[in-house]
Amino acid sequence: MSESLSVASATPELALNGIEGGGTSVPPPSPSVRRKRQGSGWRTNLEIGLLSGPAIIVFVVFVIVPVIVALYYSFFSWKGFGPTNASNFVGIANYKWTLTNIDFWKSVGHNGIIMVASLVMQGPLAVLVALLLNQKMRGRSVIRILVFVPYVISEAIVGIGLGLMLQDAGAINTLFGSQVGWLSNPKIAIWTLMFILTWKYLGFAIILMLAGLQGIPEELSEAAAVDGATYWQIQWHIMLPLLKPTIKIWAFLSIIGSMQLFDLVFVIWGQYIGNIAGVSTMAYFMAGNGRLSGQLGRGSAIAIIVFVISLIVAMAYQRFVLSRDTEGALTEPEEE
């Protein structure tokens, strides 16, 4: 009897006509039940709209609209004031100027170096320190705070302080009695920048890795220790594989941050020295050849190109890296 009832509930036609051989039928849902289901669906859509509406409005106003406005101004030789009309319409001349400028492609290359070097230098170091700080030890909380302090310091303060210390006649060369051009030598300046970025943002990576480690049940490592696994075997075969989603998220944030780097370069090297020292980035190039030179139309074109490059990188990472973690996470709604 229970089997025939379940089959009848799952198959409306059999429920109406009766199950062959069982003689049991289930009546269709009453109109009140159907209205209740429709009402619940309407309320769900309303709740989704009310909760996501403000975020969508903010995204459209502060992301979509500025991109559209920048796209419009990129076709004009606009100084930042006055109307735009046929007299200052230049078409795709700003895009041609940018894409044929060797300094722009050097900036793209610098962003690529910073992106790869950040992943190689900060990633393994952050994982190693996080694994060590995840163990019970004295002063662990104090060490975590000290590690995170550089990240919360303003980029302007870091840039001014380290910029003064790393000058040719600064504190570093005076302390070691050297004459190294940390900021002026093109062969050294990019690695000086990487040292500053690692010191500044390593704490964020460590805290993010620690948060991922906190989500791993301790029973797994305890069971492995009981089976005779050593400390490093537990870290390599249990902790690191379970930490991969966190590492991927951090890598994505690091890549996006590397593509947008501007403030530290501008504060330390200034408006013109960055190109000579070989540390200019796409955002630095955009600011120097756009707003600071009074060519906002050209700067808008550079901004659109940088936006497209960043979007392609982000979508490629999402497609080939992050999508593997979301496969199977979403399920289709059950049909009623």
* CATH code, domain with 182: 1.10.3720.10
| Residue 102 shares a structural domain with residue 250 | yes
Distance CA 278, CA 260 (A): 17
**Number of domains, the chain:** 2
CB 107 within 8 A of CB 282: yes
Nearest to 245 by CA among 335, 310, 327: 327
Asked if the structure places residue 204 within a domain, the reply is yes
Give backbone dihedrals phi and psi of 89, rounded to 5 degrees, phi first: -80, 125
| Residue 45 shares a structural domain with residue 144 | no
DSSP 76: B
Mean pLDDT in the chain? 84
Distance CA 207, CA 303 (A): 32
Asked whether the predicted pLDDT for residue 13 surpasses 60, the reply is: no
pLDDT of residue 71: 94
Asked if the structure places residue 333 within a domain, the reply is no
pLDDT of residue 326: 54
DSSP 187: H
pLDDT band at 114 (very low <50, low <70, confident <90, very high): very high
Q: Residue 73 is encoded by which pair of tokens? A: 């101004």
Asked if the structure places residue 335 within a domain, the reply is no
Asked whether the predicted pLDDT for residue 241 surpasses 70, the reply is: yes
Asked if the structure places residue 234 within a domain, the reply is yes
Give backbone dihedrals phi and psi of 295, rounded to 5 degrees, phi first: -115, 75
pLDDT band at 29 (very low <50, low <70, confident <90, very high): low
| Residue 134 shares a structural domain with residue 205 | yes
| Residue 141 shares a structural domain with residue 202 | yes
| Residue 36 shares a structural domain with residue 117 | no
Q: Residue 50 is encoded by which pair of tokens? A: 């009310």
Asked if the structure places residue 85 within a domain, the reply is no
Domain of 35 in residue numbering reads as: 2-73
- Whole-model pTM: value is 0.79
Residues in Cβ contact with 170 at an 8 Å cutoff, skipping those fewer than 6 apart: 164, 182
CB 23 within 8 A of CB 5: no
Give alpha helix (H) positions in 18-92: 31-59, 65-73
| Residue 21 shares a structural domain with residue 143 | no
Asked if the structure places residue 21 within a domain, the reply is yes
Cα 96 to its chain centre, rounded Å, is 29
Asked whether the predicted pLDDT for residue 10 surpasses 50, the reply is: no
| Residue 118 shares a structural domain with residue 55 | no
Asked if the structure places residue 89 within a domain, the reply is no
| Residue 107 shares a structural domain with residue 231 | yes
| Residue 101 shares a structural domain with residue 16 | no
Asked if the structure places residue 331 within a domain, the reply is no
